[in-house]
Amino acid sequence: MERPYILHMFTPGRQMSPFDVNMAADAGYQVLAPYTDVTLDAVRGLTQDAIFSRSPKGLARTAIFIGGRDAVLAADMLERAQQAMVPPFTVSLMADPSGSYTTAAAMVAAVEAELVAMGAGGLTGQRVVVLGGTGPVGRIAGVMAAMAGANVALSSRNGIDVAEEAAQQTGQRFGVTLHGISGGDRDAVRRSIADADVILATAAAGVQVVSAEDLTAATRLKVAADVNAVPPEGIAGVGVMDKGTPVPGTQARGLGALAIGNVKYQTQQRLLRSMNESAEPVVLGFAEAFEAARALLRQA
């Protein structure tokens, strides 16, 4: 009998995300085993429990997924799981906490492709402001944009100290320079976007972080990208289906939540499938998600 494809799904939270369960089932996993309230220290034991119970042939059909809400903790858990392998007892690993790695990957890769398409030469040297930048999607989008050469500021509605702390903590963990910027009130938001080339809106669902009036301050804006699919739109005038569509009242182009979501969906599916399809076990963190999203867009 052929062994079933098993995905062990670890989360530090109280429940595994139904979104990720559906995605994994659609990627072909036949057994989905969620483990909740998983601490960092528990990852080694759980991983070794999974790897020693199957032969290397069975392990090729076994993988581990790490979820949760914390983008930094998930990266630490991914490293712990990797360190727990005992060759030849190894399995593929993937982290995507709250969808943040694949969402940020789709967003930043789409922005990069748009900048290239408009002749602005990609993200190198661009000034990127991430509104809602302290959440998991915003932090990782900031890291990816910085990795691609942008000058990145994470914004918080709670002011400069909170923004700086998120920027320093996230930047240090992932080896990039991130700045903090205040989004504490309307004036602060307008000042923060006044010299932005790119705005990434990654605030909580259903929150508009940039109004039409705010946008008039963004005089050098090239691309405005929004991942909030719940009305109202995160950036006024950027529709959910927008894909390089002019943003009213500006010279910028817009990328909307469902257009980015489509790239995110395909990226996540591709990564989940690659754990079963690759000849050797793979480790998929946000850098791999970013590369997968870039590759998808190059093929589009």
Residues that bind ligand NAP (CB under 6 A): 98-100, 103, 132, 134-138, 156-158, 162, 202-205, 207, 209, 227-229, 257, 260-261, 264
Which of 162/292 has CB closer to ligand NAP?
162
Tell the smallest beta-carbon distance from residue 92 to ligand NAP (Å).
Answer: 23
The DSSP line for the chain is -PPPPEEEEE-SSSS--HHHHHHHHHTT-SEEEEE-S--GGGHHHHHHHHHTTS-HHHHTTEEEEE-SS-HHHHHHHHHHHHHT-BTTB--EEEE-GGGHHHHHHHHHHHHHHHHHHTTS-SSTT-EEEEETTTSHHHHHHHHHHHHTT-EEEEEETT-HHHHHHHHHHHHHHHT---EEEE-SSHHHHHHHHTT-SEEEE-PSTT---B-HHHHTT-TT--EEEE---SSSPSBTT--TT-EEEEPTTSS-EEE-HHHHHHHHHHHHHHHHHHHHHSSS--EE-HHHHHHHHHHHHHH-
Residue nearest to ligand NAP (CB): 135
Tell the smallest beta-carbon distance from residue 64 to ligand NAP (Å).
Answer: 21
Tell the smallest beta-carbon distance from residue 298 to ligand NAP (Å).
Answer: 20
Which of 11/228 has CB closer to ligand NAP?
228
Which of 98/151 has CB closer to ligand NAP?
98
Which of 260/271 has CB closer to ligand NAP?
260
Which of 126/156 has CB closer to ligand NAP?
156
Tell the smallest beta-carbon distance from residue 229 to ligand NAP (Å).
Answer: 5
Tell the smallest beta-carbon distance from residue 266 to ligand NAP (Å).
Answer: 11
